[in-house]
């Protein structure tokens, strides 16, 4: 015996029907939809059912699942549809409320912007660890590079390729021929050009969807708070102790994670400093060495691929921090020896007496951004 | 003998060696023996007060000796010691 065109189904059965290809309609108001809806649903507010249902569900013989908040409006809409000739309409009992209480998936409208359908990111979108939501998160993210040099170059390229929405670059230098052995974001025909401008050209050519913010400045105590404000992660590719400490202290004040790396000849080191969660650079080294004991880097040289590898590890850590996936290199220092082909690791601890992020400093943290530098030791 | 890894920035003081061996029952003894005839290395590791410079970290089997017993931390032949001074190089080194 044929059943009528309208029936009421529980969420479990609705889920089955949806999986089997039923048209899924949401008959609530826009503001309710905005708080989340069933994946794959089309919004059809109650007042529009009669006028628009044939537009959103043209095949009247195809099964339809319709829901609302609790089940009443969807039953009314189902009956209206039956009177229009629809032959198989299931109203979901309990509506989205019951669906949610059974921990079934809900989609947020913001989580499916155009980026989630962008073929550029297809290899990201298929991975559950990134997926549409992760890709949208990357698009909303802002990463600041201190330096568009050996460490910054690969990271800029790959974070641009990855679709990080905003890349800030702090660099006051111009491209020099001797940079091109490792600073691959620049190019031979841009010698003499500002590094920020050169990097911007390369990034635009690779991924025009990325917004580049160029700061042709040297990072100083005076401008650091302004430069880093609003960024989600900072990539430290600086090459002097002074800038490393200036950056560290400001990042701690602003509670912005810093992905730290340094290179020397055939070796690189890497760690992620997440303020108040793990150690900061000052926990590791409260004071820089005096100039007479600081080994000179510029005369020592560096194998070009070493900052390349370390810069890409920085980019990897930045993505992990932005997406909250994996175990960031927090409280750990990774040491890479290119000649040995070996990675080793030491444990870093947060120093409770750290002048930047220690207990006394942390106590003042809520207002820290408006305070002068807490880290004056040394 | 305990293996001590010398960081690239200090290798100039040990004829370019990546790793050296030294004897000692504690980290302090080990490092003092290592630097006994090596003023350059000694200056890099120790301050005038005889303690480690604050910009030099020493790790025993991956753990910072400051969170163990500092220079009095006992060492055995099977232990691996790593010296890590602060390093600034950003890969712009030599170019900018």
Q: Quote the DSSP letter at residue B51.
A: S
pLDDT at A110: 61
Task: Give the number of other Cβ atoms within 10 Å of residue A128's Cβ.
Answer: 9
- What residues does A261 pair with on adjacent strands? A270
Element (H, E) at B58: strand B56-60
CB contact under 8 A, A151 and B90: yes
Q: Is residue B90 part of a domain?
A: no
Closest Cβ–Cβ partner in B18, B87, B95 for A176: B95
Please report, for the domain that includes residue B38, its CATH number. Answer: 3.10.20.30
In terms of Cα–Cα distance, which of A349, A361, A360, A372 is closest to A280? A349
pLDDT of A67 above 60: yes
A297 is catalytic: yes
Mean pLDDT of chain A: 91
Q: The domain containing residue B74 runs over which residues? A: 2-85
What tens digit of pLDDT does each residue of A261-311 get?
999 899 999 999 999 999 999 999 998 888 777 665 556 789 999 999 999
Q: What is the CA radius of gyration of chain A?
A: 27
Give the number of residues written for chain B.
96
Task: Quote the tokens at residue A226.
Answer: 């302004």
- Is B24 part of any domain? yes
The verdict on residue B96 lying in a domain is no
Specify the pLDDT at position A220: 96
Give the helix ranges, DSSP H, for chain B.
27-35, 39-45
- Beta-carbon contacts of A94 under 8 Å, excluding residues fewer than 6 positions away, are A10, A11, A70, A71, A101
CB A269 within 8 A of CB A146: no
Q: What is the mean pLDDT of residues A33-50?
A: 93
Q: pLDDT tens, A317-355?
A: 999 999 999 999 999 999 999 999 999 999 999 999 999
Torsional class of A341: left (φ above 0), alpha (ψ -120 to 50), beta (otherwise): left
- State whether A241 and B44 contact (CB < 8 Å): no
Verify whether the Cβ–Cβ distance A302 to B54 is below 8 Å. no
Number of domains composing chain B: 1
Tokens coding B94: 């030599």
**Residue B92, SS3?**
coil
Please, which residues 44-83 of chain B have a Cβ atom closer than 8 Å to chain A? 44, 53-55, 57, 59, 62-64, 67, 82
Interface confidence (ipTM) of the complex: 0.90
- Which residues in chain A have their CB less than 8 angstroms from residue B96's CB? 149, 173, 176, 179, 195, 239
Tell which of A192, A295, A332 to mutate to test the B interface (max B CBs under 10 Å): A295
Considering only CB atoms, A239 lies closest to which of B43, B54, B90, namely: B90
Is B6's pLDDT higher than 80?
yes
Task: Give the pLDDT score at A3.
Answer: 67
Residue B48 lies in a domain: yes
Chain B residue nearest residue A308, CA to CA: B91
* Chain mean position to CA B65: 11
Q: Residue A300 and residue B90: Cβ atoms within 8 Å?
A: no
SS (H, E, C) chain A: CCCCCEEEECHHHHHHHHHCCCEEEECCCHHHHHCCECCCCEECCHHHHHHHHHHHCCCCCCCEEEECCCCHHHHHHHHHHHHCCCCCEEEECCHHHHHHHCCCCCECHHHCCHHHHCHHHHHHHCCCCCHHHHHHHHHHCEEEEECCCCCHHHHHHHHHHHCCCEEEEECCCECCHHHCCCCCCCCHHHCCCEHHHHHHHHHHHHCCCCEEEEECCCCCCCCHHHHHCCCCEEEECCCCHHHHHHHHHHHHHHCCCEEEEEEEECEEEEEEECCCCCCCHHHHCCCCCCHHHCCCCCCCCECCHHHHHHHHHHHHHHHHHHHCCCCCCECEEEEEECCCCEEEEEECCCCCCCCCCCHHHHHCHHHHHHCCCCCCCC
**Does residue B29 lie within any of the structural domains?**
yes
Q: What is the pLDDT of residues A154-213, one digit of tens each?
A: 999 999 999 999 999 999 999 999 999 999 999 999 999 999 999 999 999 999 999 999
The yes-or-no verdict on residue A231 having pLDDT over 90 is: yes
Chain A CB within 8 Å of residue B16 CB: no
Structural domain contains residue B79: yes
pLDDT-derived band at A229 (thresholds 50, 70, 90) equals: very high
Residue B94 belongs to a domain: no
User: Is residue B27 a part of any domain in this protein?
Assistant: yes
Is A237's CB within 8 Å of B85's CB?
no
- Name the residue in chain A with its Cα closest to that of B40: A293
pLDDT at A48: 93
């Amino acid at each position: 015996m044929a059943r009528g065109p309208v029936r009421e189904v529980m969420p479990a059965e609705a889920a089955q029907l949806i999986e089997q290809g039923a048209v899924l309609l949401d008959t609530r108001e826009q503001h309710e939809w905005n708080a989340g809806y069933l994946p794959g649903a089309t919004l059809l507010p109650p007042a529009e059912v009669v006028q628009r249902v044939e537009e959103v569900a043209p095949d009247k013989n195809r099964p339809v699942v319709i829901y609302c908040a609790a089940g009443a409006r969807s039953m009314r809409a189902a009956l209206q549809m039956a009177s229009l000739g629809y032959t198989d309409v299931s109203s979901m009992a309990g509506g989205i409320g019951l669906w949610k209480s059974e921990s079934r998936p809900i989609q947020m409208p913001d989580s499916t912007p155009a980026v989630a359908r962008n073929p550029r990111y297809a290899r990201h979108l298929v991975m559950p660890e990134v997926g549409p939501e992760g890709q949208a998160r990357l698009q909303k993210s802002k990463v600041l590079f201190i330096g568009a040099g050996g460490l910054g170059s690969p990271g800029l390229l790959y974070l641009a390729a990855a679709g990080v929405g905003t890349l800030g670059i702090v660099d006051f230098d111009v491209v020099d021929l001797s940079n091109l052995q490792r600073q691959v974001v620049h190019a031979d025909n841009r010698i003499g050009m500002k590094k920020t401008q050169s990097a911007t050209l390369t990034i635009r050519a690779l991924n025009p969807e990325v917004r580049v913010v160029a700061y042709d400045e040297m990072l100083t105590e005076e401008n650091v708070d302004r430069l880093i404000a609003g960024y989600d992660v900072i990539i430290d590719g600086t090459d002097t102790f002074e800038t490393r400490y200036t950056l560290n202290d400001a990042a701690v004040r602003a509670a912005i994670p810093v992905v730290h790396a340094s290179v020397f000849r055939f070796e690189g080191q890497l760690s992620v400093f997440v303020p108040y969660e793990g150690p900061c650079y000052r926990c590791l080294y409260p004071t820089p060495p005096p100039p007479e004991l600081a080994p000179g880097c510029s005369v020592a040289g560096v194998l070009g691929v070493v900052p390349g590898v370390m810069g890409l590890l920085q980019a990897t850590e930045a993505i992990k921090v932005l997406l909250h996936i994996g175990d960031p290199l927090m409280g750990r220092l990774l040491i890479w020896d290119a000649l040995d082909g070996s990675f080793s690791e030491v444990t870093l601890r947060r120093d409770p007496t750290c002048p930047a992020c220690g207990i006394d400093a942390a106590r003042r943290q809520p207002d820290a951004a408006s305070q002068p530098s807490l880290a004056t030791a040394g | 003998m305990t293996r001590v890894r010398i960081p690239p920035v200090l290798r100039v003081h040990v004829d370019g060696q990546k790793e050296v061996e030294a004897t000692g029952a504690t980290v302090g003894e080990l490092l003092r023996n290592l630097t006994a005839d090596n003023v350059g290395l000694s200056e890099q590791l120790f301050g005038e007060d005889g303690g480690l410079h604050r910009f030099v970290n020493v790790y025993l089997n991956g753990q910072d000796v400051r969170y163990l017993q500092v220079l009095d931390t006992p060492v055995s032949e099977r232990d691996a010691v790593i010296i890590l001074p602060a390093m600034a190089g950003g890969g712009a080194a030599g170019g900018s």
